[in-house]
Structure 1
Amino acid sequence: MEPELILINENLALPAAELQFRFTTGGGPGGQHVNKTATRVTLLFDVAASPSLDEETRARLLDRLAGRLDRRGVLQISAQESRSQWQNREAAVARLQALLAAALVEQPERRPTRPSRRARQERLDDKRRRSTLKQARQRRWDD
């Protein structure tokens, strides 16, 4: 039996064995059920040590997800929307897929542009108008 794969994009699929799940009791409303069942899911994915990632992909993920990673390079995603542990687990995996796919999209290189001649002229005209308006408000001491 082949291991289950989590598809991220057309170039990357992660084995489900690389994902760790932690289950805790969820917060918020729910009465007695929420106090006794571990339905909150925390998904852990070790970006820094994943054998499925090549060096270029790993570097891009570490750079783009730096704000969401802990010191060891582990990404944590929590889900607690549902009362079902299974549904929360599926939601956490879906969030992981979306987050990694968005981080792996290549940003187009920015080409510097210049303002047009008309835009420069309008900016200067506006500055002149503002200047004359402010000068008209000033009191004249030579009167």
Structure 2
Amino acid sequence: MRVTDQIVIQEWELHESFIRASGPGGQNVNKVETAVQLRFNVKNSPSLEDAVKRRLMAIAGRRMTKDGELVIEARRFRVQERNRADARERLAAMIERATIAPKPRKKRKISPNQKRKRLEAKRRIGEKKLNRTKPSVTD
């Protein structure tokens, strides 16, 4: 399965199992296993670089198992072949998204004028709150 020009996932890395889908389909739902469960072992994949693996694991979220396996369930369609294609497309999209490294955050300095304005606003609010206190009664 070709994801990008540099990344090609071998067929032996993908494990598909077929399960019964819920939802519409009449009696067919109870008889035919049309939903697809696609498993891809991200941790041990020789096709992906370490940085891509880390980002893919972060993107996958709860679809990731403790063993480093990505599980994608496709049950949108009533036909097994379309669900297989859908699962593979979703996997390819996730891997493609993981190949793009996030831009590093640029640290910005607060201008002295902004700092002064912020502190003045804090001081004004503090004074306003001080004026709300009840006067103390002294005998």
Percent identity between the two aligned chains: 34
In 2, Cα distance between equivalents of 1:9 and 1:96: 12
Match of 2:45 in 1: 50
Match of 2:121 in 1: 126
In 1, Cα distance between equivalents of 2:89 and 2:52: 20
How far apart are 1:141 and its partner, in Å?
0.7
What is the aligned residue count? 135
CA RMSD of aligned residues (A): 2.0
Equivalent in 42, 61, 66 of residue 53 of structure 2: 61
| Residue 95 of structure 1 pairs with residue 90 of structure 2 | yes
Name the SS of the counterpart of 1:70 in structure 2.
coil
- For structure 1, the 5+ residue unaligned runs are 1-5
In 2, Cα distance between equivalents of 1:106 and 1:59: 8
Of the structure 1 ranges 123-132 and 74-83, higher mean CA displacement relative to structure 2 is found in 123-132
Equivalent in 56, 67, 75 of residue 70 of structure 2: 75
Equivalent in 4, 13, 27 of residue 8 of structure 2: 13
- For structure 2, the 5+ residue unaligned runs are none
How far apart are 1:104 and its partner, in Å?
2.0
Closer, same or farther: CA 123–114 of 1 in aligned 2, 3 Å: same
How far apart are 1:96 and its partner, in Å?
0.3
Give, as a single letter, the amino acid of the residue that structure 1 aligns with 2:57.
Answer: L
How far apart are 1:88 and its partner, in Å?
0.9
Of the structure 1 ranges 26-35 and 84-93, higher mean CA displacement relative to structure 2 is found in 26-35
Match of 1:138 in 2: 133
- The TM-score, its normalising length taken from structure 1, stands at 0.82
Equivalent in 17, 20, 28 of residue 22 of structure 1: 17
Contact 2:56 2:94 (8 Å CA) reproduced = no
- The TM-score, its normalising length taken from structure 2, stands at 0.84
| Residue 117 of structure 1 pairs with residue 109 of structure 2 | no
